[in-house]
Amino acid sequence: MAFGARAYPGLVPGPNVVKGRVTGFDQDGEKAKSAERVGKHMSYQLIEDMDGWEEDMDRLTISIPIVGCLFKKSYFSPSRGKNVSETVFPKNLIVNYWAKNLETAPRITHEVHLSDNEIQERISSEIFTDQEYTKIAIREETAKDEAHGVTRPVEDESTPNLFLEQHLWIDLDNDGYKEPYIVTTCGNKVARIMAGYDLETVIVNEDRVIKIDRINYFTKYGFVPSPDGSFYDVGF
């Protein structure tokens, strides 16, 4: 609680959360003015436009000392029509244990829980392919439930379905080079495949592709680095 009380004001000092920094020569001050405008607009997006952003940051600063690390997933949601930034707990974000960081991890898997309505909304918006998705039970740790004295509710039509959103590298064009893609699956069915890169992340030399960087949607917040050098940090 003490850590959260000190960390939250440091991360969210007031309405101006985002501040731009000018690099390079700025004789007429236009860069500084532009940075100020961008900072005000992004601060507005975080504080006013994104639902629950402040509450998520408060929850993040309190939870980090306990679980060791948390993640923020920031992206544009086509179904909501605006930018979204949500907190993701480490149990729902699976990364190779010995990965150095998110940028170089060979695969990042995010467990996404969707209700029947949310699935239908994505099908109607042509985000997911139109097919029947078998409901997969969401398994929670029995020992944790017993320790907290809770019982998992009986599964019915309101139980959310489990989708796996995998950020990985695949060679779909068979050119010998794997490109970053985002593949969403439910059981053995593929719901969506989209590119995990754009023109800005493709490095070319004349007409030859040299390298493709993956767009990273996740930001890691760590507490104490793991002593064995593994990816997941540790808490108290």
In angstroms, the CA 53 to CA 158 distance is 26
pLDDT for the residue 208: 85
What tokens appear for 214 in the block? Answer: 């993956």
Strand partners, 84: 75
pLDDT for the residue 136: 67
233, 223 Cβ separation under 8 angstroms: yes
Residue 59: pLDDT over 70: yes
Three-state DSSP at 75 gives: strand
Higher pLDDT, 70 or 142: 70
Confidence at residue 156, expressed as pLDDT on a 0 to 100 scale: 63
Encoded tokens for 225: 């680095």
How far, CA to CA in Å, does 133 sit from each of 96, 121, 126? 27, 14, 15
| pLDDT higher than threshold 80 for residue 152 | no
Residues 88 and 218: their CA atoms lie apart, in Å, by: 9
Residue 79, pLDDT score: 73
* 72: CB partners within 8 A, 6+ apart: 56, 60, 85, 86, 87, 88, 218, 219, 221
Indicate whether 148 pLDDT > 70.
Answer: no
Section 59-85 average pLDDT: 89
Nearest alpha carbon to residue 182 among 128, 130, 232, 138: 128
| Model confidence at 213: pLDDT above 70 | yes
Choose among 153, 137, 141: nearest CA to 186: 137
Q: What is the pLDDT of residues 15-42, one digit of tens each?
A: 888 988 898 898 888 999 999 999 999 9
Cβ neighbours of residue 42 closer than 8 Å, sequence gap 6 or more: 17, 18
Share of the chain above pLDDT 90, in %: 57
